[in-house]
Amino acid sequence: MSGNSKYWLNRADMKIRHVAHMLYPRCMCRGHGECSGRLEMHHMISCGVKHFRHDLRNVIVLCAQHHRLSTLMSPHGNPKAFDEWMAAERPEHFAWVEANKWKSGTRNYKAAFDRLAGFEELLKNGMHPERILVAIFKKQEVEA
């Protein structure tokens, strides 16, 4: 089976949602207006850009209010205010998006699934999420 089959796409989609929620167990915008609704994953570079779809540097977790519903600060409801918040509060994420939003690349959903499964295992074994995030943004190997 090809590493880019629908099977591996679906498995990688489920895995990134799970790992993202492990890395970010609460809305990242808490403290900036009232949070409400379930937690949702947001792709900073559209999930239609396949080579970044399963990249943990490209996702954040927000409550429904901050993801879609708020007109004050939401990537869908008020992108300008959200970008300003990202630049101030999550500069590593914002810088990564700005540096990569126009880059092309190749995709391999099975490889993405395997990489995410490795991060999931580290988190299950007690590695602190911040340690993983620092390594991801510096493109370092994460060791237990």
pLDDT by residue for the chain (144 residues), tens digit each? 789 999 999 999 999 999 999 999 999 988 777 899 999 999 999 999 999 999 999 999 999 999 998 888 899 999 999 999 999 999 988 999 999 999 999 999 999 999 999 999 999 999 998 888 888 887 655 554
Identify the domain containing residue 84 by its residue range: 6-137
Residue 1 has a pLDDT of: 76
How many domains is the chain built from? 1
Domain assignment present for 143: no
Q: What are phi and psi of 24, to 5 degrees?
A: -125, 85
pLDDT of residue 56: 94
Tell me how long the chain is.
144
Structural domain includes residue 95:
yes
Residue 116 domain-assigned? Answer: yes
Print the SS3 string covering 37-105.
CCEEEEECCCCCCHHHCCCHHHEEEEEHHHHHHCCCCECCCEHHHHHHHHHHHCHHHHHHHHHHCCCCC
- Is there a domain that residue 142 lies in? no
Per-residue model confidence (pLDDT) at position 33: 76
Specify if 128 maps to a domain. Answer: yes
